[in-house]
């Protein structure tokens, strides 16, 4: 007899607990498959400490393969569920599609950022639901403080040092509390020139901080925040987010470059596609976490509207505590439905208390109904997290100890860009990659998720709005919008220009690619697959023998956008900075026409090494005498309408394809 197949969608608190419990209950008598976009379980309550530089990112993650040895892990995102056929279609991390069959399906897809119809928020704000968002916020805050320290304009300094957090629940309160301590520590080591202090604002339409908690705990958190210098404004929210700041509901305009959106969560949109009864976006289930009329379908966590038997007529809230407990009951009931366990159990709960980490030794907690504050609350809070984490306890405790005795490291890693973590996405746990495969997040989310541009202007709230970041990425940030993988050339840093390093850009994207000195001297081909649109240079021996240019592609080249299928050696169409055509008038391959290698003896550069005439010219002003180089041949005709100057050639036999400018944006 074949073993039953159990499929679990999502590895958050509910999905991870379901898989772990089922693995223990079935003891190999069932095939258990876990579908998740990442290979780790994220302990979300400690994410603010990652953003504040207290914990390293891997400390709050637990490997699924290591901790669930009897569970098959499939990396991907669910796209479509056929309930009648018992199959699920998914998309893998590299764009591949697959299908999974099941006898029992457990939906535990979790939640995503909650959006409100406020102008500019989707374009300028960032959420706080995944590890990429925490890493981005840590880099962004560090960068803003460093830029503020070097700013000459007091207004620009104040704008960069103002950080607005919307939402005074658990997440928003902890982000503001830890953020104020983080930036204060940076300023102590590198004081601002104007003697300013970083300003954190916490906004919420609710009448008090942490409205879901006891009033005593709320008062404790409010007092700690204000003592630290956080500008707490209750009954106030954002009316509009703009390029330069935010407009508050009381009419005040606050100049800022940072807008953190923590107003709450909404269920993953996947459940909406099932066409089953819903309750405020959540799938209706019975007390046994089974969907009525679908004996093979279970749901738990944030996607499930679970009846609260302790409060008839209501549903359990979307919290990590309830999701963790849902997972255990769901696993037991799934095993019971297959005859692999005991009897079914309804979900009942009893609150054991709440804890809120306010940074340092400060916290607010009420374990078993006992209200605590200060150091005792801090000890209880950290003890609770260590007990609740399914792994990495020793590493987390070690990081806490080191943070208590050593200064924090405030450096920018630059691993996550602004456009990689859009607010409107159904996959906050996965950072967007330029040229990556299309994702369910982009297909089903609103316009904010589709806007993944990187611009070079001053930035805006919640974005990487600073001159140090070549790619700036949110819509509404300026007149120039560059999508990842589009045909627009990105600006080069001074280092890249001086060294002649290749511009970052996937093959076929139209970005001109510069050669290093070594490549120029040796005549090596530019990296780029055939048809990518990048001109390929040939060595002297290859030119003399009439050999074709090498057509090779490295792994780094093929990781980006698909090539636009141009003939090898043809110049990119209308691309600024693109590689020139290889056969200009004169018979020689045009290696360095205008638009190709930058002149190295221009203002701010180095002596030009690659002017027309073949080998790198070393007899430019300020350089070395040319070594047996032939004089450059004059053009056969003066430039004019009939004889244009040498440069990139635009094909007239192939029409422009406007779709090429948006490929790879999904």
pLDDT digits (tens, 9 = 90+) for 372-423: 988 999 999 999 999 999 999 999 999 999 999 998 888 888 889 999 999 9
* Secondary structure of 88-118 as H, E, C letters: EEEECCCCCEEEEECCEEEECCCEEECCCCC
Q: What is the pLDDT of residue 80?
A: 94
Distance CA 368, CA 352 (A): 5
pLDDT digits (tens, 9 = 90+) for 237-279: 999 999 899 999 999 999 999 999 999 899 999 999 999 999 9
DSSP secondary structure of 28-70: TSSEEEEEESSSEEE-GGGHHHHHTTSS-GGGGEEEHHHH-TT
The pLDDT of residue 524 is above 90? no
Q: How confident is the model at residue 436 (pLDDT cuts 50, 70, 90)?
A: low
The pLDDT of residue 563 is above 60? no
Higher pLDDT, 564 or 152: 152
Share of the chain above pLDDT 70, in %: 65
pLDDT digits (tens, 9 = 90+) for 192-203: 877 789 999 999
What is the CB neighbour count within 10 angstroms for residue 418?
27
Side-chain half-sphere exposure of 283, counting CA atoms within 13 A: 30
Return the residue matching tokens 């693109």: 578
Return the residue matching tokens 């503001």: 176
pLDDT digits (tens, 9 = 90+) for 118-166: 999 999 999 999 999 999 999 999 999 999 988 889 899 999 999 999 9
Q: What is the pLDDT of residue 38?
A: 96
Distance CA 193, CA 214 (A): 42
Rounded to 5°, angle at Cα 161 from 160 and 167: 100
Q: How confident is the model at residue 426 (pLDDT cuts 50, 70, 90)?
A: confident
The sign of the CA dihedral 603, 459, 179, 61 is negative
Measured in residues, the chain has a length of 666
The pLDDT of residue 484 is above 70? no
The sign of the CA dihedral 5, 308, 318, 375 is negative
Q: How confident is the model at residue 209 (pLDDT cuts 50, 70, 90)?
A: very high
Q: What is the pLDDT of residue 437?
A: 53
The pLDDT of residue 578 is above 90? no
Per the DSSP assignment, residues forming a β-bridge with 258 are 163
Beta strands in 258-386 (DSSP E): 258-261, 265-267, 278-279, 282-284, 297-299, 304-305, 355-357, 363-365, 372-373
Helix (H, G, I), strand (E, B) or coil at 278: strand
Query: Is there a contact between 321 and 45 (Cβ–Cβ < 8 Å)?
Result: no
Whether the predicted model's global pTM rises above the 0.85 cut:
no
The pLDDT of residue 641 is above 80? no
pLDDT digits (tens, 9 = 90+) for 63-98: 999 999 999 999 999 999 999 999 999 999 999 999
Rounded to 5°, angle at Cα 134 from 132 and 136: 70
Q: What is the pLDDT of residue 194?
A: 74
Q: What is the pLDDT of residue 414?
A: 86
Distance CA 464, CA 458 (A): 9
Indicate the average pLDDT of the chain: 75
Return the residue matching tokens 């190709």: 596
What is the CB neighbour count within 10 angstroms for residue 447?
11
The pLDDT of residue 175 is above 70? yes
DSSP secondary structure of 495-550: HHHHHTPPPS--TTS-------HHHHHHTPPPS--TTSS------HHHHHHTPPPP
Name which of 215-229, 298-312, 360-374, 386-400 the model is least confident about.
360-374
Query: Is there a contact between 169 and 262 (Cβ–Cβ < 8 Å)?
Result: yes
pLDDT digits (tens, 9 = 90+) for 444-481: 333 333 333 333 333 333 333 333 333 333 333 333 33
Higher pLDDT, 266 or 498: 266
pLDDT digits (tens, 9 = 90+) for 583-639: 444 444 444 444 444 444 444 444 444 444 444 444 444 444 444 444 444 444 444
DSSP secondary structure of 314-338: -B--S-HHHHHHHHHHHHHHHHHHT
Helix (H, G, I), strand (E, B) or coil at 165: strand
């Amino acid at each position: 007899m074949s073993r039953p197949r159990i499929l679990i969608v999502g590895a958050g608190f509910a999905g991870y607990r379901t898989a772990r419990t089922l693995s223990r209950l079935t003891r190999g008598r069932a095939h258990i498959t876990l579908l998740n976009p990442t290979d780790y379980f994220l302990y979300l309550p400690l994410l603010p400490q990652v953003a504040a530089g207290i914990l390293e990112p891997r400390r709050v993650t637990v490997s699924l393969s290591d901790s669930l040895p009897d569970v098959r892990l499939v990396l991907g995102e669910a796209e479509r569920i056929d309930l009648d056929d018992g199959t699920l279609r998914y998309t893998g991390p590299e764009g591949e599609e697959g299908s999974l069959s099941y006898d029992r399906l457990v939906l535990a897809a979790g939640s995503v950022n909650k959006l409100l119809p406020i102008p500019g928020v989707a374009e300028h704000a960032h959420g706080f639901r995944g590890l990429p968002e925490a890493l981005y916020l840590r880099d962004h805050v560090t960068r803003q403080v460093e830029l503020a320290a070097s700013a000459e304009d007091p207004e620009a300094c104040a704008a960069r040092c103002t950080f607005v957090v919307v939402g005074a629940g658990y997440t928003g309160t902890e982000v503001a509390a830890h953020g104020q301590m983080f930036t204060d520590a940076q300023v102590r080591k590198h004081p601002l020139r104007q003697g300013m202090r970083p300003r954190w604002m916490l906004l919420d339409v609710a009448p008090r901080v942490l409205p879901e908690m006891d009033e005593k705990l709320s008062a404790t958190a409010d007092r700690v925040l204000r003592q630290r210098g956080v500008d707490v404004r209750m009954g106030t929210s954002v009316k509009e987010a703009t390029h330069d700041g935010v407009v508050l509901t009381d009419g005040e305009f606050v100049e800022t470059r940072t807008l953190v959106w923590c107003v709450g969560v909404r269920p993953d949109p996947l459940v909406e596609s099932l066409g089953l009864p819903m309750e405020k976006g959540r799938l209706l289930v019975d007390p046994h976490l089974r969907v009525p009329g679908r004996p093979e379908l279970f749901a738990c966590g944030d996607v499930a509207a679970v009846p609260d038997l302790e409060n008839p007529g209501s549903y359990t809230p979307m919290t990590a505590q309830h999701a963790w407990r849902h997972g255990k009951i769901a696993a037991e009931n799934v095993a019971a439905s297959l005859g692999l366990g005991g009897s079914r159990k309804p979900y009942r709960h009893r609150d054991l208390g709440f804890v809120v980490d306010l940074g340092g030794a400060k916290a607010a907690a009420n374990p078993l109904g006992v209200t605590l504050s200060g150091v005792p609350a801090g000890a209880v809070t950290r003890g609770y997290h260590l007990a609740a984490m399914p792994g990495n306890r020793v590493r987390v405790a070690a990081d806490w100890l080191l943070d208590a005795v050593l200064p924090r490291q405030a450096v920018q890693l630059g691993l996550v860009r602004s456009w990689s973590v859009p607010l409107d996405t159904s996959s906050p746990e996965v950072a967007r990659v330029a040229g990556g495969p299309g994702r369910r997040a982009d297909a089903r989310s609103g316009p904010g998720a589709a806007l993944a541009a990187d611009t070079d202007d001053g930035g805006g709230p919640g974005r990487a709005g600073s001159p140090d970041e070549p790619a700036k990425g949110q819509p509404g940030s300026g007149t120039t919008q560059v999508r990842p993988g589009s045909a627009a050339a990105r600006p080069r840093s001074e280092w890249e220009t001086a060294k002649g390093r290749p511009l970052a850009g996937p093959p076929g994207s139209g970005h001109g690619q510069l050669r290093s000195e070594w490549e120029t001297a040796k005549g090596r081909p530019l990296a780029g697959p055939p048809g990518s649109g990048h001109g390929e240079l040939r060595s002297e021996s290859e030119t003399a023998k009439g050999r074709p240019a090498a057509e090779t592609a490295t792994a780094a080249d093929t990781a980006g956008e698909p090539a636009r299928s141009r003939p090898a050696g043809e110049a990119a169409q209308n691309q600024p900075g693109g590689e020139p055509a290889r056969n200009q008038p004169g018979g020689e391959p045009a290696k360095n026409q205008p638009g190709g290698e930058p002149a190295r003896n221009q203002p701010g550069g180095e002596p030009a090494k690659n002017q027309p005439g073949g080998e790198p010219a070393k007899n430019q002003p300020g350089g070395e005498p040319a070594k047996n180089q032939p004089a450059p041949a004059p053009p056969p005709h003066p430039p004019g309408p009939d004889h244009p100057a040498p440069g990139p050639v635009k094909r007239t036999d192939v029409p422009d394809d406007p779709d090429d400018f948006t490929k790879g944006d999904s």
